[in-house]
Amino acid sequence: MKKLKHSEYILAIKPVLKKLLDAVLAKYPYASILAVDSMGNMYSSAKTGISITEIPRYANCGFVIKAYDGNAYGEYSFNEVSEELIPEILKKLDEAMSLKNVAKGGLSLCEYKQMTDEPCTFSDSSEYEIAPWEMGDDKIIAKLTELKDALMATDKRVINAAARINYQKYTKLFLSKNKDMIQSNMWVEAYLTIAAKEGDNVRDNYCPFSGRCGFEIMDEMQKGVKKASEVVIELLSAEQIVPGTYTCVCNPHVTGMIVHEAFGHGAEMDMFVKDRAIAQSYIGKRVASDLVTMHDSGNAVSQTGTYFFDDEGVLATDTVIIDKGILKTGMSDAQSAMYLGTEPTGNGKRESYKRKAYTRMTNTYFEAGKDKVEDMIASVDYGFLLENPSSGMEDPKNWGIQMMVDMAREIKNGKLTGKVFSPCILSGYVPDLLESISMMSDTVELGGSGACGKGYKEFVKVSDGGPYIKAQIRLG
Amino acid sequence: MIDRILKALKNNNVSIYRLRDTVTESTEVFFVKKKLDTRRIANTETVSVTVYKEFEKDGVKYLGDANFSVEPSMSEEMIDSKVKKAFMSAGFVTNKAYALADKVVSDTIHVKSSLSEMTSEGALEKMVEALYRNDTDDNTFINSAEFFLTKRTVRIVTSKGVDVSWVKFGIGGEYVCQCKTPEDVETYADFDYDDLECEQLAEKVKETLAMTRDRSIAKANPVNGKCDIVLPNQYAREVLNYYIDQTDAFYNFAGYFENKIGDLVQGKDEISGDRITLDLLPDEPFSPDGIKMEELPGIENGVLKNYQGALRFCRYLNVPAVGGYDKYRIASGTMSFEDMKKQKGLYIVNFSDFQMDSVVGCFRGEIRLAYYNDGTKIVPVTGGSVNGSIHEVQSSLRLSSERQETTSISGPKAIFLKDVSVAGC
């Protein structure tokens, strides 16, 4: 394994950023600077063509200053810096701080304390085996094309297929009066996608791969070809489910979506600040069956949501959100924690240096149980094995569930019948589902493909997962 | 920055390229309840550079491309290194050769907006006042809000002689309304305007507050099975997106749809509902390739008239390259919105999320608030989900005679769909 090197550009510009920080601190009692240099590419080979392109969300280089004026916080994001530009940058920061004047009429200003600034010096980076820049674009495209061709060749009903791999490698430097922290991380996500057609009936399927690693993940992609194709062909004969509440076994990807969408978002404590999360009133109370222990951990597992410190200079932690069914705490960014009088958990994340920090999840998952998957299926008289989650939406205020799942495999008398239903929507009330969990498998799997939004924007990288779970779920 | 990049391209013998320089000035304010929480300014410039390489392999001509971005702090050496790498990568991209967009030169276009005539702070002040204007009730109020005022200056330069630029303002954001009793509930809403639309925003907030009050008293959705539904506003747009995707060159090239120009897009059988007439509307003056965007018929009385979409796929389909359209106008139907709501079934005004999957043809979402008409009374209901197939409902789809006007659609305010699968609570 090799360690990532920090961005040479960030290291070179650091003395200028320190001068800028000093200049800001001469006027404001607290200030920090986050500098980001990230590269992120997408490689794709599809029947429709080949693509090598930067991903704007993951490839950018810039800075954000956060300052405190004695009452509240303001920020200025920019991507050009030099000693000569410091006066201009200060002027823009002042402009941002003066926007408090838009609060007129019956509106007022939030009052915050000054951010604590515990001394911390830190430098570390993640490891990888094969970096994309070492592998070479020709070899990457050749491998993806081989995978795409293998997918296309699996069945004559396949009309389109693609193999895609994305990565982001970033260096982040956090500076404040007492903090000097730098980290570099790389994550990779990959997909096999396949579409098949029979008459007017078109179905598609994707098989994701992800990790805090390098392009060594491409070795795993080969194993997904057969499964991706089998599923899309099965989906061609899928029926529409009869709405109802069923006994369901969820695979780790579906469990992950339940963890993330149904509960995780509601435990983001900036929602507590706004009185937008019902979870706030359930701290210390039962919200799930006693089989359930849930973590949000930026440092205890290695996946796409793993980092050393967050975008506010707080070291990553392993937070136990639910312990044996009892809600213990939420996760928080520094500013929300200060407002609530709690300890920050290292969950302050920005989509990029251009955006505000919010409380965001890292790697969120249920701990393993003790059951075997085959025993779980065998215990179902009539129900479904749920696979292939496609999307979901949070409802922190009312704990409503909304999740799309593209595959429900029928189980009858403890056996899979081979009959499949698609698409399905999971709905219902979160605690009802979590309290109905009666079995959990003995291994945990996490996945970090895609991106997590706060509502409909602010997309960041996370992962989620858990074991197989058995629960009562409303399907439509 | 453009000149520095052109120099690097020349030094590396890159003769085919496309540059898109975007300068974004964003002014942002964030409110919690009636208090200003955070204020921000973000000023950035990024040039997206695409380099192309023509090459031949086994007698086939290819035009490969690779893309990277350049930011102001980058040194000449960094830019040079990115150009070299991308030019080499483009040689591995075996996309069959196609013609890039032809030369077009234009003076900077200033897209008309009243936002250009005032300061950022002044515009935000007015929109903030509008958002909070109807927030007068202690039980139902605005929980939080975010505003993003943007000015984007875009310039596109290509090796084929394209040199166009424009300036466009916008103001968007989101807000959450909360009703404390009898049930503590909330409604999320967003807004997006090209102009200072204070009255529209104030009215939208008023409707959201009312919707949130109704959600607070809503009963569990009793509908299970097939049911007629009315979808208004953004949900009508989401379903109708299926038809703009029917005009998308990519979907047709990939084989998802097989409609040719002149084919019926709502099925070949007689239909009892409304035929779709859809015009494509430019959202920006030029496409990313520098093609001038013009208003264009997409579908007329259910018949496909034009493809739109990415340049490469239009060229492969041998149809005119007109650019990619996200905005469209759909002709009204004959059924009034009021008549739609009078039908037995669900009038669904709020989903947690609602999505149309054009490839599979399904639309689905979890219901946050609907009004259930059982033929004798109308009651607010919540919970459950909708899971429908456009293939099953499009022959009887009805479009309202009333309109909605947003930055992404000019079209019917609502659609009426028969026999859609609904899962109740």
Q: Does the domain made of B2-213 have the CATH classification 1.10.8.60?
A: no
Nearest to A159 among B129, B132, B255 (CB): B255
Residue A114 falls inside a structural domain:
no
Asked whether residue A197 falls in the same domain as residue A288, the answer is no
Asked whether residue A319 falls in the same domain as residue A375, the answer is yes
Closest CA to A111 of B128, B32, B37: B37
Return the higher-pLDDT residue of A74 and A101.
Answer: A74
CA distance A282 to A271: 14
Q: What average pLDDT score do residues A202-215 get?
A: 96
Asked whether residue A368 falls in the same domain as residue A452, the answer is yes
**How many CB pairs below 8 A link A and B?**
267
Q: Is residue A455 very low, low, confident or very high in pLDDT (cuts 50, 70, 90)?
A: confident
Q: What average pLDDT score do residues A117-134 get?
A: 96
Q: Choose one of A235, A253, A280: the last residue of a domain.
A: A235
- pLDDT tens digits for A133-170? 999 999 999 999 999 999 999 999 999 999 999 999 99
Find which of A99, A133, A395 to mutate to test the B interface (most B CBs within 10 Å of its CB): A99
Nearest to A200 among B65, B185, B391 (CB): B391
- pLDDT tens digits for A232-247? 999 999 999 999 999 9
Asked whether residue A260 falls in the same domain as residue A143, the answer is no
- Least Cα separation, residue A296 to chain B (angstroms): 24
Q: Max Cα separation, chain A?
A: 75
Q: Choose one of A201, A216, A235: the last residue of a domain.
A: A235
Closest CA to B306 of B277, B333, B336, B268: B277
B78 touches chain A (CB under 8 A): yes
- pLDDT tens digits for B253-276? 999 998 899 999 998 778 999 999
- pLDDT tens digits for A349-400? 999 999 999 999 999 999 999 999 999 999 999 999 999 999 888 888 989 8
Closest CA to B404 of B339, B343, B332, B352: B332
Residues of B in contact with A74 (CB under 8 A): 38-40
Asked whether residue A228 falls in the same domain as residue A250, the answer is no
CA distance A149 to A163: 9
Cβ–Cβ below 8 Å for A47 and B254: yes
- Amino acid making up residue B208: T
Q: Is residue A15 very low, low, confident or very high in pLDDT (cuts 50, 70, 90)?
A: very high
Asked whether residue A190 falls in the same domain as residue A319, the answer is no
**B140, B178 contact by CB (below 8 A):** yes
Q: Choose one of A235, A267, A290: the last residue of a domain.
A: A235
Domain span at A288? 244-475
Q: What average pLDDT score do residues A93-105 get?
A: 93
pTM above 0.90, yes or no: yes
The reported pLDDT for the residue numbered A395 is 86
Please state the domain extents for chain B. Answer: 2-213, 219-239+333-423, 244-325
Cβ–Cβ below 8 Å for B365 and A402: yes
Cβ–Cβ below 8 Å for A104 and B129: yes
Cα B124 to chain centroid distance, Å, stands at 23
Residue A113 falls inside a structural domain:
no
Find which of B73, B171, B312, B362 to mutate to test the A interface (most A CBs within 10 Å of its CB): B73
**A445, A465 contact by CB (below 8 A):** yes
Residues of A in contact with B358 (CB under 8 A): none
**A297, A317 contact by CB (below 8 A):** yes
Cβ–Cβ below 8 Å for B73 and A80: yes
Cβ–Cβ below 8 Å for A75 and B38: yes
Cβ–Cβ below 8 Å for A427 and B92: no
Find which of B4, B44, B75 to mutate to test the A interface (most A CBs within 10 Å of its CB): B44
Per DSSP, helices labelled H in A26-121 are 86-97
CA distance B160 to A28: 50
Nearest to A197 among B89, B255, B421 (CB): B255
- Least Cα separation, residue A255 to chain B (angstroms): 19
The reported pLDDT for the residue numbered A456 is 85
The reported pLDDT for the residue numbered B10 is 97
**CB burial of residue B103 (10 Å; 0-12, 13-18, 19+):** exposed
Residues of A in contact with B94 (CB under 8 A): 50
- pLDDT tens digits for B280-321? 999 999 999 999 999 999 999 999 999 999 999 999 999 999
Residues of B in contact with A53 (CB under 8 A): 66-67
- Least Cα separation, residue A371 to chain B (angstroms): 30
Q: What is the DSSP letter of B115?
A: G
Asked whether residue A178 falls in the same domain as residue A284, the answer is no
Secondary structure (3-state) at B182 = coil
Cβ–Cβ below 8 Å for B46 and A100: no
Structure tokens at A142: 């050749």
For this complex, say whether ipTM is above 0.90. Answer: yes
List, run by run, the mean pLDDT of 10-residue segments along chain B (425 residues). Answer: 96 97 98 96 98 96 97 93 97 97 96 95 97 96 98 98 97 97 95 95 97 96 94 96 96 92 88 95 94 96 96 96 95 96 97 93 94 96 94 95 93 97 89
The reported pLDDT for the residue numbered B294 is 95
CA distance B359 to B52: 31
Asked whether residue A255 falls in the same domain as residue A137, the answer is no
B77 Cβ neighbours under 8 A, 6+ residues apart: none
Residues of A in contact with B355 (CB under 8 A): 391, 404
H or E segment and range at residue A400: strand A400-412
B34 touches chain A (CB under 8 A): yes
Nearest to A97 among B39, B86, B224 (CB): B39
Structure tokens at A404: 């799309």
Q: How far is CA B228 from CA A201, A209, B343, B356, B422, in A?
A: 24, 40, 8, 18, 9
Nearest to A53 among B35, B66, B94 (CB): B66
Asked whether residue A316 falls in the same domain as residue A438, the answer is yes
Task: Categorise residue B305: left if φ over 0, alpha if ψ from -120 to 50, beta otherwise.
Answer: alpha
Query: What total number of domains does chain A contain?
Result: 2
Closest CA to B98 of B408, B397, B321, B407: B321
- Looking up residue A126, the CATH number of its domain turns out to be 3.30.2290.10
CA angle A355, A359, A363 (to 5 degrees): 110
Nearest to A276 among B186, B353, B364 (CB): B186
Cβ–Cβ below 8 Å for B132 and A105: yes
- Least Cα separation, residue B353 to chain A (angstroms): 6
Cβ–Cβ below 8 Å for B423 and A160: no
What residue in B sits closest to A270 (Cα-Cα)? B32
